[in-house]
Structure 1
C-alpha cells in the first residue's frame, strides 16, 4: 500500500511540475532565389537563405516560480539553410539568455542578446519587415548589429508605453574597448567586429494606442578600441518611426541618423591607407536615412508591401534611393510564399548595394573596375533586384 501511495504522489508531483514548466521548440526554414544586376562581376542569379526571415531554430522555456514570477530561457541558432552553415560563426548567434519575468515589475535577461540586440527591433517600423530589400539595405546592415555579454530590462506596458534597455559588457580591462582591443575592420576578419567589439548599449521606448504604434531607439556600438570608427559598423544610431493602421492598410514612416565621429581608414577600409575613391569623396562620419511605405492586407491570405528608402552620407559620399514592391501569400498559418522587387539608384559618388548582408566597410575599393569579391555596384551605378521564396515556421 505504501508503494502504491508513493507512486501516486510521485506521478501527481510530476504532473504538477510539467504544468508549471514549459519548453518550446520553434524555428523558420526560408529558402529562395534572387537575381541582381550590376554587381562588379556582372549580373547574379543565385539561391538565397532568409529572403523573408533568417532561417533559425531554437528552444525557449519558462518555469512558474510562484507569485507571478517565471524563470525564462531562450537558445536560438541562426542558419544558412541553403548550405547548412551556422550564421556569423556562432552556434547560438540568435540568442542565449536566461532571466526572470514578472507581470508587475517586468523582465530581466542575461547572456548573449545576439540578433535581439536592440537596434534589430527597428523592424517593427519597417514596411518591408526587414526582408532582403528593406530598412537595413541603405545603411549597409547597421541595424543588424550583435550584442554579447549583456543584460536587458523590459518594462511592463503602462498606459501604452513600454521601455526596453540593454547594456553589453566588453569583458576587457579597458573601458569601452573589446578584448583584446584589436583594431576595427570588416566583419568577419581577424581585426573586425566579429573578433572584437567594444561596449554596446541602447534604449527603446514604444507606444501603442489602437491603430497607432510609435518607437524611438538610441543605440551605440563601439569598435575594439572603444571608438566610433565606422558609420555603418561602429557608430551611434538614433531611430524613430511610427505605423498607423486604418482598415486593411498600415502606413509606415521613419527616420534614422548614424554618427561616427572617430571615423578612420582603418575602421572603414580595414587598412590604414584609403583605396582609390572618386574626387571629393572622403570618409563618411554621418548618414541620414528616411523611409515611407505601407502594407495592404488585400485578403486574409495576400499582403502587398511597398516602400521608398533614402539615405544621404556626408563628406562627398552621395545619396541613394531604393524603391521596393513585395507580396506575401499565406498558404497556411505557418507557410508563406513571398516575392520582392527593388530598384536602387546611386548618385555619382555613392555605391550602396542591394545586399544588406555586406556589413559596414566599403568593399568596392576600385571606383573604375570594382572589387570582384564585392556585391556593391561601382560608384554611380544603379541596381535592380528581384527575389522569391518559400518560408515555413514550426
Structure 2
C-alpha cells in the first residue's frame, strides 16, 4: 500500500513536470546532385548533402519556471547525409546552449553558439537564403563563422527593434588569444581548419515590422594569436542589409565590409608563397561584398529567386561577380524540391570559386606550390554550377 502511494505521488510529480516542459526533436535531411565546371582537373558530377540547407538533427527544450520565465536548451549536430559523417569533428558543432528567456526582460544563452554565431542570423536577408551559391560564396564562407565558449543576450522587441550581443571567451591566459595551431597547407598561420580561434564578439541591431526587415551587424573573429590575420577567416565585419515584402515579391539588398589589418603573405604562406600568383598580388586586407535580388512567390508552393553578388578585394586581388537563379516547389509544409544555377565571373587576378575554397593558387597556376585539391578556378577564369535535390524538415 505504501509502495502504491509513493508510485502515485511520483507519477503525479512527473505529470506536473511534463505539463510545464517540452522537448522537441528536429532536423533537416537534404540530399541532391550537382554539376560544376572549372576545377583544376576538369568538370565534376557529384552527390551532395546540404546544398539547400545543411543536414542536421537536434534537440531543443523549454521549461516554464513561472512568472513568464523559461529555461531553454538546444543541442544540434550538423551532418553529411551522403556518407553519415558529422561536421568538423565535433558532434554538437551546430550548437550546444542553455539559457533563460522572458518576454519582458529578453533572453540570454551560454555555451557553443557554433552555427548561430551572430552574423549567421543575417541569412534571412540573403536572396538565396544561404543556399550553396549565396552571400557567403564570394567571401569564402566568412558569412558563417563559428563561435564557442560564448555568452549572448537579446533584448525584447521595442516597436520592432531588438539588440543582440555575443561575447566568446578564449579560455586562455591571454585575453584575445586561444591556443595557436597550424592549419594543414597554411604554414605559420592559425586561421585555418584545425587551428584555434581567438576572442570573437559582435552586436546586431534589427528592425522587423510590417513588410520590412533590416539588420546592422558588427562582429570580430580573431585567430589563435589574437590577430586579424586573414580577411576570409579572422577579420572584422561590418554588415548592413534589408528586405521588403511587396505582395508576392520580396526584394533584397545588402553590403558587407571585411578588414584584416594583420594579414600578410608571410603569415599565411610561410616560405611557400605560390610563385605563380599574379604579379603584385598579395593576401588581401579588405574585401567589399554586395548583393541585390528578388524572390517571387509564383504560387503558394512555387518560388523563383534571382540574385547578383559582387565582391572586390584589395592588394591587387581584383573582383568577382556571381549570377544566380533558383527555384523551389513545396510538396508539403516540410518537404521541398529545389534547384539553383550559378555562374561566377572573375577578373584577371581573382580566382574565387562557387565552392568558396581557401585563398591561394591552384596547381594549374602553380604546379610546385599550388593546391591540387582546390575547388577554385584558374586566375581570371569563371565557373558554372547547377544542383538539384530534395530536402525534408522534421
Structure 1, 129-138 or 155-164: larger mean CA deviation: 155-164
Change (3 A) 1:186 1:337: farther
Tell me which residue corresponds to 1:337. Answer: 337
Q: Decide whether the 8 Å contact of 2:303 with 2:327 is kept in 1.
A: yes
Is structure 2 residue 295 aligned with structure 1 residue 295?
yes
Tell me which residue corresponds to 2:260. Answer: 260
Q: Structure 2: which 5+ runs fail to align? A: none
Tell me which residue corresponds to 2:362. Answer: 364
Tell me which residue corresponds to 2:274. Answer: 275
Q: Decide whether the 8 Å contact of 1:183 with 1:225 is kept in 2.
A: no
**Aligned positions, number:** 390
Change (3 A) 1:190 1:238: closer
Residue by residue over 1:101-129, the C-alpha shift from the partner in whole angstroms, topping out at 9 and shown as x without a partner, is 11111111111000011111121110000
Q: Decide whether the 8 Å contact of 1:193 with 1:224 is kept in 2.
A: no
Is structure 2 residue 93 aligned with structure 1 residue 100?
no
Residue by residue over 1:327-371, the C-alpha shift from the partner in whole angstroms, topping out at 9 and shown as x without a partner, is 011111111100000000000000000003x3x433626635663
Q: Secondary structure at the match of 2:44?
A: strand
Q: CA deviation at 1:175?
A: 1.8
Tell me which residue corresponds to 1:317. Answer: 317
Change (3 A) 1:130 1:186: farther
Q: Secondary structure at the match of 1:309?
A: strand
Tell me which residue corresponds to 2:21. Answer: 21
Q: Decide whether the 8 Å contact of 2:244 with 2:250 is kept in 1.
A: yes
| 1:134-149 superposed matches below 5 A | 134-149=134-149
Tell me which residue corresponds to 1:215. Answer: 215
Q: Decide whether the 8 Å contact of 2:184 with 2:194 is kept in 1.
A: no
Distance (Å, rounded) in 2 between the aligned partners of 1:388 and 1:186: 32
Q: Secondary structure at the match of 2:268?
A: helix
Q: CA deviation at 1:83?
A: 1.0
Tell me which residue corresponds to 2:178. Answer: 178
Distance (Å, rounded) in 2 between the aligned partners of 1:183 and 1:10: 54
Q: Decide whether the 8 Å contact of 1:34 with 1:48 is kept in 2.
A: yes
Tell me which residue corresponds to 1:88. Answer: 88
Tell me which residue corresponds to 2:348. Answer: 348
Change (3 A) 1:105 1:154: same
Task: Say what the alpha-carbon RMSD is for the aligned residues.
Answer: 2.0
Is structure 2 residue 223 aligned with structure 1 residue 227?
no
